[in-house]
Structure 1
Amino acid sequence: MSQATESESVREDGLIESVSGPVVTATDLDARMNDVVYVGHEGLMGEVIEIEGNVTTIQVYEETSGVGPGEPVENTGEPLSVDLGPGMLDSIYDGVQRPLEVLEDKMGAFLDRGVDAPGIDLDATWEFNPTVEEGDEVGPTDIVGTVPETESIEHKVMVPPDYEGGEVVAVESGTYDVEETIVELDNGEEVQMHQEWPVRQQRPAEEKRTPRTPLVSGQRILDGLFPIAKGGTAAIPGPFGSGKTVTQHQLAKWADADIVVYVGCGERGNEMTEVIEDFPELEDPKTGKPLMSRTCLIANTSNMPVAARESCIYTGITIAEFYRDMGYDVALMADSTSRWAEAMREISSRLEEMPGEEGYPAYLAARLAEFYERAGKFETLNGREGSVSAIGAVSPPGGDFSEPVTQNTLRIVKTFWALDADLAERRHFPSINWNESYSLYRDQLDPWYRDNVAQDYPELRQWAIDVLDEEDELQEIVQLVGKDALPEDQQLTLEVARYLREAWLQQNAFHDVDTYCEPTKTYRMLQAIQTFNDEAFEALDAGVPVEEIQDIDAAPQLNRMGVAEDYEEFISDLEDDITNQLRELY
């Protein structure tokens, strides 16, 4: 989006009446809802959020100190939009898609106000390879050619979704910048690589479908117990220090999505700095190339203006939808939606709107639903299939899951990964509480697991859930009377559950081998623990004391399965050792 002072279409037709933090009221402004305006002598970017008579209310995306009544307000006549085209991957943006690296080159590490830059480099040239010929008919979002955007991703140039489409009358391969016409249609429409799209408007699709393929994350507790589908929605709520950010980093690195859009929404500056520094150095485990070559980062820290924080979620989901229309599977990480909701609450209070629960606006649930509804598995207008999986971290104050953001999110998402501070304190990571978490995708994903992992995978998973549930009930008795007071079969159940927790559910994100666990390995590790369970109970039935069963040498080796280089050989040998050692006891 061009700056006000450089645009001939911009009119100086309003004056500031009052300033209250990021909320500015103006009079005599000829504007519509959601129009982008430039405020004051410095041209600060803002958006119209309320119109009442001759008074227009604007939320400004930048710090407003020093701005006063009587200064001009200029209207662009366009809603807040993002620049779409080649060059978005391997980029780091702020909440309104201003490239931070470009801004740093202009003014250094500390950004001035009123400075703008397009979301993609308008002067960069790209090698365009057409996939259509003269005489072909094309419609909205049809692909007309490709551009090698990064080492990992081929950018597919599409007809904009708001075009009518028609017959191609001119197309030629070659090197073009993003604003040059690359395809001409018989109705006069011209296709460029550069598109704009309003961030608050969902990009159209032909049909939303039921997702039936899991988004494999390589994290055992997620893939094994609480899977999310490609095109699914998930929430990761948890208190400070429980591992939300590390879990999202693992998902960003290992999930089998084609594109990753990571939105740092209102997080602390040091956390966001870590992301910005780490991601460019990470290697994509699939290709061996830099992970950033298929990643787009949106960094909006807690010290940035509150209004930009409110818009950064929409910026991220719009970029994700753009790649979805190309036929890619996109994983969107939002860290965290609580900060987004807090930004809405602050703006709502400045507008003097009627507050809802805990001061959040009454429309909190509607805004959350609008965001998560834009995720899904879609048949696009061009007949391809693409998906956006939305994974939102939630930061409830004090870890209280009964607060409004967590509760409203729970009503919308279908996968809930509840992080637990107690598990984190015990150094159990990922610290996802298996008793509180759930996934509503299990049934529709079971056929995939049966076909691609093992026929009995769902039954084995249910066995693990049942053992963990029984352990939860037995722990209440243990706290009252002690473990030794339990019958031997229940003591053995607790031992099996301990191996499920320590050997299977725990995973070391910083270990070269254990950081990623493919679904087949997840299944085989669980199978080994079930082998111990079955053989141990047979030994118990044969009269072997539970202490002797627990003392066999092979059992502790279950804890080494995750770090085994050749896991298939290690687990097969371990199952044989467990079976032989237990059968020798009777």
Structure 2
Amino acid sequence: MEKHGIITKVSGPLIVASGMESVQVYDVVRVSNKRLIGEVLELRGDLASIQVYEETAGIGPGEPVFFTNEPLSVELGPGLMESIFDGIERPLDKIYLEHGSYIPLGVDVPRLDRNRIWKFTPTKKVGDQVVGGSVIGTVIETESVLHKIMIPPHVSGTIKSIKEGSFTITEVVAEVENTDGDIIEVKMLQTWPVRKKRPFKKKIAPTEPMVTGQRVIDTLFPISIGGIAAIPGPFGSGKTVVQHQLAKWADADIIVYIGCGERGNEMTDVLMEFPELKDPKTGNSLMKRTVLIANTSNMPVAAREASIYTGITIAEYYRDMGYKVAIMADSTSRWAEALREMSSRLEEMPGEEGYPAYLGSRISEFYERAGYVECLGDEDKRGAITAIGAVSPPGGDTSEPVSQATLRIVKVFWGLSASLAYKRHFPAIDWLKSYSLYSDQMTEYFDTKVDKNWSKQVKEVMTLLQEEASLQEIVRLVGLDALGPNDRLKLLAAQMVREDYLHQNAFHAVDTYSSLNKQNKLLSLILSFYHQGLEAVAENKNFKDIEKLAVREQIGRFKYTEENAVNEAYKKIQNDMISGYQNLAKE
């Protein structure tokens, strides 16, 4: 007979049950005869505190709690791509087909399709030695993703049998004999506890940028492959659009997008847009290399924490195949609010602003699972997880605990500004507050792969923007006419950087993505205009004549140039600029 405890108290998503001495912390249990999924948070004697990942209305004391004696785990294997799961990896599309628009309480459907047939092509043969992480075969999961079937991390030995053909994920495709002489069956399906990091050989220092196609990010505040970044900003400042842009255009093989506590319409946008978007790498639908995890604001609060761990575990699985994975968490603030709610119901000692004292360590546990690593296995595999988390501080106040705990961990801070957003300047990343601690490591890459003057240009642009902020203070006090022509020109150049370079239209077919070559050319044109302007001012030319040069408009339109026409357009504008300034000199 199945072992069970008895519910003694119900407090929203938290349930206390007695007779639980044989369970462990983080074991999954099934609550009441409705079989709701829950996870043990705390044990005191035979009493267990359980967070339930479904609605607990109608459940009361005296009902049973059934043991599974297993930790909260995810299923890993072919079929993850193109799927949309809830926070505990239940496939929402399958639930919809079987049960309609509303998720029934206690619904239990297989995480991955047990009936779908996959064509397995072995890459190892009988007699080969294998270790944890070794690739023994491949499956074409989608047109964009070749799924590598790996030996589970803690298994090693000699292949005794391996099959080629079409199988379901639960059928045995290989057998491995370990050093003790035991035969271990290998299937395409693996399970892994979500709170446990998947192992790797070693972490590698970041040296390459993850190119995003967003000018303000790639130029001023780059993120490395395997880096970690935070996007804090108030409501309406464009956090979600920035994350959507990164998911669409970032240099990653796999995208894991977690909608953690944000509004459902934002996940709907992703669901509607991604299948329609053409993947610039493969030409297929972007959804073909995307996994969506939706635990939106109208879904169970307790499952927000699980959704974060589910997402990072799926990301680690694809990383172990040697892929570059980008994981977007939108937003970690909602997860932290769920932690605060559960902590208060557990009657724990509160930390700052009511958040639990362990908030910082939980956030760091998540971000530390990102990185660029040498993967397990006998092949030379390198994989990366780049983690980008949105933070939604109330009123945009980044001094609150979630923002501060995040900033202590992440290396890139893309601070969004409400004032820029109100001016319709998007992405609203504030260049005076944001920073990237990867910039120095990336300098060599940009200077050798893009242009030898890249880092010099970037420094000059940052100086221009900082000096503009100081000059604006003077203008506000005494007016623009009080400035000399050199300072007026500096303000004009900074305005061109802001409006023609940093401003980028996510909904424009061409401007939505900008290659490094295009970014470099546009930056070079703006600085060239500025330098030639300084020479003209030194020769006593009128600033207003410089301001009216027709080439200014050409530079402003350059960002709408198709990628294949960039070099030609650049040469033409350079020639027009030289002739424009020469005509000024003749006057």
Q: Report what 1:577 is aligned to.
A: 576
The aligned residue for residue 133 of structure 2 is 141
Equivalent residues in 2 for 1:533-548 (5 A)? 533-548=530-545
Q: Matches of 1:279 and 1:516 in 2, distance apart?
A: 15
Alignment map for 1:358-507 (pairs within 5 Å): 358-382=353-377, 383-507=380-504
After superposition, residues 297-308 of structure 1 pair within 5 angstroms as 297-308=292-303
Cα shift at 1:483: 1.2
- Is 1:185 matched up with 2:176? yes
**1:119 maps to what in 2?**
111
Aligned mates of 2:47, 2:275 — CA distance in 1: 46
| 2-structure distance, mates of 1:554, 1:190 | 69
Is 1:62–1:113's contact at 8 Å kept on the other side of the alignment?
yes
Q: Which residue of 1 aligns with 2:224?
A: 229
- Whether the aligned pair in 2 keeps the contact of 1:325 and 1:380 (CA below 8 Å) is yes
Amino acid at match of 1:290: S
Give the secondary-structure state (helix, strand or coil) at the position aligned to 1:245. helix
User: AA paired with 1:153?
Assistant: V
Per-residue deviation at 1:35? 0.3
- The one-letter amino acid of 1:372's match is Y
SS of corresponding position for 1:507: coil
Pairing 1:552-567 to 2, within 5 Å after superposition: 552-565=549-562, 566-567=565-566
Gaps of 5+ in 2: none
Q: 2:18 aligns with which of 1, 10, 27?
A: 27
1:53 paired residue among 31, 45, 53: 45
Distance, in Å, in 2 between the alignment partners of 1:376 and 1:206 is 12
Report the equivalent of 2:349.
Answer: 354
One-letter identity of the residue aligned with 1:473:
S
Would you say the 8 A contact 1:554–1:581 is kept in 2?
yes
Residue 552 of structure 1 deviates from its aligned partner by 1.3
Q: Secondary structure of the residue that 1:552 maps to in structure 2?
A: coil
Partner in structure 1 of residue 124 of structure 2: 132
Equivalent position of 1:83 in the other structure: 75
What is the CA RMSD across the aligned residues, in angstroms?
1.0
How many pairs are equivalent? Answer: 576
**C-alpha deviation, 1:11, in angstroms:** 2.6
- Tell me, yes or no, if the aligned pair for 1:532 and 1:579 is still in contact at 8 Å: no
Residue type at the aligned position of 2:530: N
Q: Deviations over 1:71-115 (max 9, x none)?
A: 000010000000000000000000000000111111100111000
Q: Distance in 1 between matches of 2:574 and 2:449?
A: 23
Q: Give me the whole-angstrom Cα distance separating, in 2, the residues matched to 1:323 and 1:80.
A: 19
- Give the whole-Å Cα distance in 1 for the aligned partners of 2:547 and 2:239: 35
Alpha-carbon shift at residue 22 of structure 1 (Å): 0.4
AA of the residue aligned to 2:210: L
Code of the residue aligned with 1:197 in structure 2: it is W
Corresponding residue for residue 34 of structure 2: 42
In the alignment, which residue of structure 2 is the partner of 1:62? 54
Task: Give 1:25's aligned amino acid.
Answer: V
Q: Which amino acid aligns with 2:40?
A: V
Q: What amino acid maps onto 1:582 in structure 2?
A: Y
Q: Is the 8 A contact 1:12 1:72 kept in 2?
A: no
Match of 1:219 in 2: 214
* Cα distance in 1, alignment partners of residues 553 and 474 from structure 2: 25
Residue 168 (structure 1) aligned to one of 142, 153, 159: 159
Aligned mates of 1:174, 1:472 — CA distance in 2: 65
Amino acid at match of 2:321: M
Runs of 4+ in 1 over 6 A off after TM superposition: none
The Cα offsets for residues 295-337 of structure 1, whole Å up to 9 and x where unpaired, read as: 0000111111111112100000000000000000000000000
Q: 1:123 offset after TM fit, Å?
A: 1.8
Deviation of the 1:573 alpha carbon = 1.1
**Structure-1 residue corresponding to 2:149:** 157
Please give the TM-score of this superposition, normalised by the length of structure 1: 0.97
Alpha-carbon distance in 1 for matches of 2:265, 2:319:
31
Q: Does 1:310 align with 2:305?
A: yes
Q: CA deviation at 1:510?
A: 1.0
Aligned amino acid, residue 263 of structure 2:
R
Give the partner amino acid of 2:12: G
**One-letter identity of the residue aligned with 2:426:** F
* Separation (CA, whole Å) in 2 of partners of 1:281 and 1:558: 32
The one-letter amino acid paired with 2:547 is: Q
Which residue matches 2:259? 264
1:578 to partner: Cα distance: 1.6
Distance 1:105 1:353 in 2: 41
Q: Report the counterpart of residue 203 of structure 2 in structure 1.
A: 208
CA separation in 1, counterparts of 2:566 and 2:421?
A: 27
Paired with 2:70 and 2:177, the residues of 1 have a C-alpha distance of: 27
Cα deviation, residue 280, structure 1? 2.2
* Partners of 1:224 and 1:246 in 2: CA distance: 19
Q: 331-340 or 303-312, which moves further after superposition?
A: 303-312
The 1-side partners of 2:550 and 2:442 are apart by 37
Task: Determine the C-alpha separation between the residues in 2 that align with 1:410 and 1:373.
Answer: 13
Which letter maps to 2:375?
A: T
The yes-or-no answer on 1:194 pairing with 2:185 is: no
Distance (Å, rounded) in 1 between the aligned partners of 2:394 and 2:549: 45
Whether contact under 8 Å (1:503, 1:558) holds in the other structure is yes
Rounded Cα–Cα distance in structure 1 between residues aligned with 2:340 and 2:411: 25
Q: Partner amino acid for 1:215?
A: M
Determine which of 6, 9, 15 is the counterpart of 2:6.
15
Give the drift of 1:281: 2.2
Whole-Å Cα distance in 2 between the matches of residues 186 and 574 of structure 1? 68
1:165-214 residue CA offsets vs partner (Å, 9 max, x unmatched): 10111012111111111111123111110000000010001101111111
* Preserved CA contact (<8 Å) 1:11 1:76: no
Query: Alpha-carbon deviation of 1:266?
Result: 0.3
| Superposition deviation, residue 451 in structure 1 | 2.1
> For residue 522 of structure 2, what is the aligned residue in structure 1?
525
Q: Which amino acid aligns with 2:308?
A: I
Output one character per residue of 1:531-559: Cα deviation in whole Å (capped at 9) or x when no partner: 10110000000010211111111112211
The alignment status of 1:96 with 2:96, answered yes or no, reads: no
Which of 229, 246, 249 is residue 244 of structure 2 equivalent to? 249
Retained in 2: the 8 A contact 1:166–1:186? yes
Indicate whether 1:335 and 2:330 are aligned.
yes
